[in-house]
Amino acid sequence: MTTVWKIEFGRLAGVVAAALLSAMLTGFWALSFLAGLTLYIIWHLRQMRRLERWLSSGGSLSTAPDAGGVWEQLVNQVHRLNQRNRRRKKRLSDIVNRFHRSTEAMPDAAVVLRDGGVIEWSNRAARDLLGVRNPQDHGQRIGNLLREPSFRDYLTRGDFDEPLDITSPVDPELELNLRIVGYGDGQYLLMARDISSLRRIEAIRRDFVANVSHELRTPLTVVTGYLESFDGEELPEHVREGVGAIDRQSRRMLSIVEDLLTLSKLEMEPVEPAAAEMVRVDELLVGLVRDAEAFSGEQVHRIELDATPEFGLRGIASELSSAFGNLITNAVRHTPAGTRIRVSWHVDGERGRVAVRDEGQGIGPKHLPRLTERFYRVDTSRSRARGGTGLGLSVVKHALTRNGGELDIDSTPGRGSTFSCVFPAERLVTLGQAAPVLADRSADPDGARHSANP
């Protein structure tokens, strides 16, 4: 038994002893015990009241009731609990303050949203970048403050895997990259980053490449033009080889410049939905296959075409032609002579697919994610030797993106590759029944070499 309980039982024993003595002296046993116990209970009730008053006055140690025994123990324990709670509260408020200070100092905007896009909290940068004021706009819907249609669509779709770029509602000069992440139960954190300087640097880079390519094209065209007028047979022996090399290299440079210009155009020109036309993919592919046959020349690739005439595509014909043409040219360029290349256009389920399948040596999986990067080649010297610029697949990717499509690459080393251009249902145009276009090399052996440019 602890000391406090010994004291408490001592007190009770004292009361009982006093009642016993009183009973023996007066002869009123019941009354004596009743009086003793009543006094004992009254004393405890008084202590209880003191404790209750002390707790409601804040429970500081200096004003603690001094009753000894079990009451003193209770007072001490309550005081310790109080202190522990205070320390915990302080620690939590320190954490909250630190979080507040760091989010306030953040250059990126942060807005906490409840389900339905209601603003719960925002930092200072949210005011500067998004115009969300703290705390005046809390409780408002974010869609009422950020009215850009692309943002509203983004919110309505509710698919926040990809970030969204918008113009700041506060300053039209500011370009923002916006991301929304879900956390907890129906809560979202919206973050916005100022990417204006990044965009400016990108624009400078694009302009530089476009200007340099443009400036180089004219002198190169003149050089290749003059070189064309030379008849190799008439040239003296000692210069013939040199002139041949100059001719090859200047043509290569011209192809690179042409591809860079095509890329710049695809990157810089705004996508004009009104410019989209109905493209007869089957007819387009017939022309491209002819060009590829001419390009294959003596290598005699067997190029087969299977294109449905039932569907067309809504898009920009020159860009789609550039994308499909580059894939077919690549199949010729990167596969051995005489191998089969199958070009097809089909609609499977909801999506349309232009596929170019070859039986070449294929591409290792580690190269696949990088193939559409500019100048990325699996085998640089072989690509150069076959007239590749390393820009073809970049052109394909850009041209497809502008026309609502995606590039899908499937390749098995040693067995061949399939490059597919996949288009969503909204890009498809139903044309009705007609005989499918099935062509092979024997159909028409004539045709011009297909260049990487439209």
Q: Which one of 334, 342, 397, 441 is in contact with ligand ADP (CB under 6 A)?
A: 334
389 contributes a contact to ligand ADP by CB under 6 A? yes
Nearest-approach distance from CB 373 to ligand ADP, in angstroms: 8
- C-alpha distances (whole Å) from 331 to each of 376, 396, 406 are 16, 13, 18
Nearest-approach distance from CB 257 to ligand ADP, in angstroms: 14
The smaller minimum CB distance to ligand ADP, of residues 112 and 371, is found at 371
The smaller minimum CB distance to ligand ADP, of residues 103 and 417, is found at 417
264 contributes a contact to ligand ADP by CB under 6 A? no
Q: Identify the residue whose tokens are 């695809």.
A: 266
Nearest-approach distance from CB 393 to ligand ADP, in angstroms: 4
Taking contact as CB under 6 A, which single stretch among the options 83-91, 102-110, 122-130, 331-339 is the one that binds ligand ADP?
Answer: 331-339
**Which amino acid is residue 245, in one-letter code?**
A
Considering only residues 398 through 427, tell me which ones interact with ligand ADP, judged by CB under 6 A: 417
Q: Which one of 307, 391, 399, 421 is in contact with ligand ADP (CB under 6 A)?
A: 391
The smaller minimum CB distance to ligand ADP, of residues 122 and 264, is found at 264
Nearest-approach distance from CB 358 to ligand ADP, in angstroms: 5
3-class secondary structure, 434: coil
The smaller minimum CB distance to ligand ADP, of residues 377 and 441, is found at 377
The smaller minimum CB distance to ligand ADP, of residues 89 and 370, is found at 370
Considering only residues 308 through 327, tell me which ones interact with ligand ADP, judged by CB under 6 A: 326
**What is the pairing mode between strands 164-167 and 175-183?**
antiparallel
Nearest-approach distance from CB 377 to ligand ADP, in angstroms: 3
What is the largest distance, in Å, between two alpha-carbon atoms of the chain?
Answer: 154
3-class secondary structure, 140: coil
Q: Which one of 284, 288, 393, 437 is in contact with ligand ADP (CB under 6 A)?
A: 393
CB 362 within 8 A of CB 227: no
Q: In the 8-state DSSP scheme, what is residue 141?
A: B
Residue among 439, 212, 207 nearest 306 (CA): 439
Nearest-approach distance from CB 347 to ligand ADP, in angstroms: 23
Return the beta strands (E) in 171-292 as ranges: 175-183, 187-194, 277-279
User: At a CB cut-off of 8 Å and minimum separation 6, what does 325 contact?
Assistant: 288, 291, 292, 450, 452, 454
Nearest-approach distance from CB 385 to ligand ADP, in angstroms: 10
Residue among 279, 276, 383 nearest 333 (CA): 383
**Which amino acid is residue 274, in one-letter code?**
A
By CB under 6 A, how many residues form the interface with ligand ADP?
21
Considering only residues 265 through 284, tell me which ones interact with ligand ADP, judged by CB under 6 A: none
The smaller minimum CB distance to ligand ADP, of residues 280 and 333, is found at 333
3-class secondary structure, 246: helix
Considering only residues 123 through 182, tell me which ones interact with ligand ADP, judged by CB under 6 A: none
Report d(CA 300, CA 293) in Å as an integer.
7
Residue among 320, 325, 346 nearest 404 (CA): 320
Q: Which one of 333, 397, 402, 450 is in contact with ligand ADP (CB under 6 A)?
A: 333
Report d(CA 289, CA 450) in Å as an integer.
9
The smaller minimum CB distance to ligand ADP, of residues 128 and 410, is found at 410
Which H/E stretch holds residue 421?
A: strand 416-423
Nearest-approach distance from CB 381 to ligand ADP, in angstroms: 10
388 contributes a contact to ligand ADP by CB under 6 A? yes
Considering only residues 350 through 379, tell me which ones interact with ligand ADP, judged by CB under 6 A: 358, 360, 363, 371, 376-379
Report d(CA 150, CA 325) in Å as an integer.
33
CB 32 within 8 A of CB 15: no
Taking contact as CB under 6 A, which single stretch among the options 180-188, 237-245, 330-338, 343-351 is the one that binds ligand ADP?
Answer: 330-338
CB 335 within 8 A of CB 360: yes
CB 307 within 8 A of CB 285: yes
Q: Which one of 330, 403, 420, 451 is in contact with ligand ADP (CB under 6 A)?
A: 330
Nearest-approach distance from CB 331 to ligand ADP, in angstroms: 5
User: At a CB cut-off of 8 Å and minimum separation 6, what does 8 contact?
Assistant: 69, 70
Chain residues binding ligand ADP by CB under 6 A are: 326, 330-331, 333-334, 358, 360, 363, 371, 376-379, 383, 388-393, 417
